[in-house]
Amino acid sequence: MVRAEHLEINKDSKPQKLVRYNVICLKRVEDSAGNHIPGSKTCSAQTQKYCEEGNCNAGVKKSGLVVVKNMKIIGLHCSSTDLHAGQIALIKHGSRLKNCDLYFSRKPCSTCLKMIVNAGVNRISYWPGDPEISLQNEASNPTSTDDAKLDAKAVERLKSNSRARVCVLLQPLVCYMVQFIEETSTRFDFIQKITKSQPDCNTDFYTACRQERIKEYESLFLISSEEMHKQILMTIGLENLCENPYFSNLRQNMKDLVLVLATVSASVPVFGSFGFYNSESQGTNATDDECLPQDIARHCMIQARLLAYRTEDHKTGVGAIIWAEEKSRSCDGTGAMYFVGCGYNAFPVGSEYADFPHMDDKQKDREIRKFRYIIHAEQNALTFRCREIKPDERSMIFVTKCPCDECVPLIKGAGIKQIYAGDVDAGKKKADISYMKFNEIEGVSKFTWQLNPLHTNAPELHDLTARENRLICASANLFNDYMCSKGDVTMAVKLLASAFASVE
Ligand SMILES: Nc1ccn([C@H]2C[C@H](O)[C@@H](COP(=O)(O)OP(=O)(O)OP(=O)(O)O)O2)c(=O)n1
């Protein structure tokens, strides 16, 4: 059956639901032996550059992939040195890919497409930029461009002979969405915590960090030359998008989504010695007490932040994502980490808008408050998880807000070993929701967003940090120079892939 490539736009989306289609994948930079390179300090300049340019697998750009079955995410993958994202999905899910929807951050190549089509997937959506086999190298390497063009043709042929729908799924954002995300990101607890702890600091550091992220994501996801973008769209069978106004609308939608991603990402910023730390040991063994590298923890928290925008609670959006670590590293570009589940706060599945009360504790009548009905982000992540939580593996939950007294025993009971969260609400007690148990939890390690306690405990280091932070606040340029000189700007885990998944 011949399937036409088309742009799907959902005009009925409610504003708070728009980012429900935006899911991010995890990427680890690896050396040729497949070892994780935690940052530029241990990575040779050459390898670093090679990986950054997405050239680890000659001519093949890194891609991310979200696998969705029955509207639930069952896999978050990323290409590795040896394997493309589609190949990894095949290895991980096999024939379970049947009837799944796949969301790629680049148009997949023929090697991946033939296998996933063969597995009986339902729909393949992709980001309409440079495809997996890059078409951007024309001048520098004509032979590889010829191969890339051949591959693009093969992809078209596979597409037109397959049952699966291969399409671009891109939602235009409503006009005030970018502004809404900007405002909520600046007000986010982590940014507020930094601002409060640095009395002479305003949110300039946030603006600088956002600019840095915008630059990074634009270079990953957008094609700067309009002409080049048009040529690529023609080659990958999207000629119907090359005419205006479709072309300019497409570019604008892509830019807006990149802006949203960068804005959310900046709300978990790289700033001085802020990060996820535990002040005391709480786990049952040393491995459980060991914090993930900061860049990975930050990356997962950004995923939770994106999920929070899908909330059904008008006032407070919360996102949660669970990852676990296998004993040995896997073929996935995410290293030993694998996705377990994710969720956001919402009313019970299937309920209609008016079925339950939406009021908070400012409403005197307790019967019409939301708290007894709304399912918390952690509760949805646990309920709709796609993998079991194994007692002998390090599993971790990332929550954008402090887990409340309903959720702390659930997280512990489920056998999750680590919690990464904010602690702004810890110790708060309200009539219908309390955050008292988080501080007392035992047997689970907590890593909260704070200044590195090693720095805070050493006065001279603290002074240094304060001085450095003042410097950072002074100007965006100074901030960038400072971070670059520290080698921190290049995160080992980057938000490489933005795939667009319709998920309940
Ligand atoms: N770890 C958490 C904590 C809370 N929530 C959800 C449940 C409710 O939808 C909302 C409750 O948030 P607050 O306790 O902040 O209560 P309010 O929404 O009333 O806001 P506030 O009291 O801060 O003004 O967040 C959640 O999903 N997961």
CB atoms within 10 A of CB 368: 11
Instruction: Enumerate the β-bridge partners of residue 451.
Output: 274
Mutating to test ligand 1, I would choose from 316, 382, 446 the residue with most ligand atoms within 8 A of its C-beta, which is: 316
For ligand 1, atom 25, the nearest C-alpha belongs to 316
Using the mean position of ligand 1's atoms as its centre, give its distance from the Cα of residue 20 in Å: 19
144 band by pLDDT with thresholds 50, 70 and 90: confident
Judge whether 110 and 151 are in contact, CB under 8 Å.
yes
Using the mean position of ligand 1's atoms as its centre, give its distance from the Cα of residue 384 in Å: 20
Give yes or no: 132 in active site.
no
Using the mean position of ligand 1's atoms as its centre, give its distance from the Cα of residue 435 in Å: 10
Q: Give the C-alpha separation, 376 to 343, whole Å.
A: 8
54 band by pLDDT with thresholds 50, 70 and 90: very low
Give residue 403's Cα distance to chain centre.
20
Q: What is the DSSP letter of 359?
A: B
Judge whether 378 and 399 are in contact, CB under 8 Å.
yes
ipTM, 2 decimals? 0.98
Ligand 1 atom nearest 433 alpha carbon:
14
Ligand 1 site, residue 318, Cβ cutoff 6 A: yes
484 band by pLDDT with thresholds 50, 70 and 90: very low
Mutating to test ligand 1, I would choose from 383, 404, 449 the residue with most ligand atoms within 8 A of its C-beta, which is: 404
Ligand 1 site, residue 361, Cβ cutoff 6 A: yes
Judge whether 321 and 396 are in contact, CB under 8 Å.
no
Q: Give the C-alpha separation, 483 to 203, whole Å.
A: 17
3-class DSSP assignment, residue 329 = coil
pLDDT for res 58: 66
Ligand 1 site, residue 377, Cβ cutoff 6 A: yes
Judge whether 188 and 266 are in contact, CB under 8 Å.
no
DSSP codes of every residue in 188-205: SHHHHHHHHHSTT--THH
Ligand 1 site, residue 407, Cβ cutoff 6 A: yes
Using the mean position of ligand 1's atoms as its centre, give its distance from the Cα of residue 403 in Å: 9
Q: What are phi and psi of 341, to 5 degrees?
A: 180, 165
For ligand 1, atom 6, the nearest C-alpha belongs to 376
- Report pLDDT digits (tens) over 373-396: 999 999 999 999 999 999 999 999
State which H helix or E strand residue 26 sits in: none
Ligand 1 site, residue 433, Cβ cutoff 6 A: yes
More confident residue, 282 or 447: 447
pLDDT for res 455: 73
Task: Name the residue among 384, 422, 426 with its Cα closest to residue 400.
Answer: 422
Ligand 1 site, residue 67, Cβ cutoff 6 A: no
Q: Give the C-alpha separation, 258 to 220, whole Å.
A: 10
Residue at token pair 């909330």: 311
Segment 220-239 shows an average pLDDT of: 96
State which H helix or E strand residue 136 sits in: none
SS3 content of the chain, % helix, strand, coil (to 5): 40, 15, 45
Using the mean position of ligand 1's atoms as its centre, give its distance from the Cα of residue 318 in Å: 8
Ligand 1 site, residue 345, Cβ cutoff 6 A: yes
Task: Name the residue among 304, 429, 427 with its Cα closest to residue 376.
Answer: 304
Judge whether 118 and 142 are in contact, CB under 8 Å.
no
Judge whether 500 and 170 are in contact, CB under 8 Å.
yes
Judge whether 435 and 371 are in contact, CB under 8 Å.
no
Active-site option among 378, 440, 442, 468: 378
Segment 473-488 shows an average pLDDT of: 29
Q: Give the C-alpha separation, 366 to 369, whole Å.
A: 5
Q: Radius of gyration of the chain from Cα atoms?
A: 23
Using the mean position of ligand 1's atoms as its centre, give its distance from the Cα of residue 433 in Å: 8
How does the average pLDDT of the chain come out, rounded? Answer: 82
Q: Is the peptide bond before 269 cis (omega within 30 degrees of 0)?
A: no
pLDDT for res 138: 63
pLDDT for res 286: 75
> Please, what is the end-to-end C-alpha distance for the chain in angstroms?
29
Q: Residue 8 pLDDT > 90, yes or no?
A: no
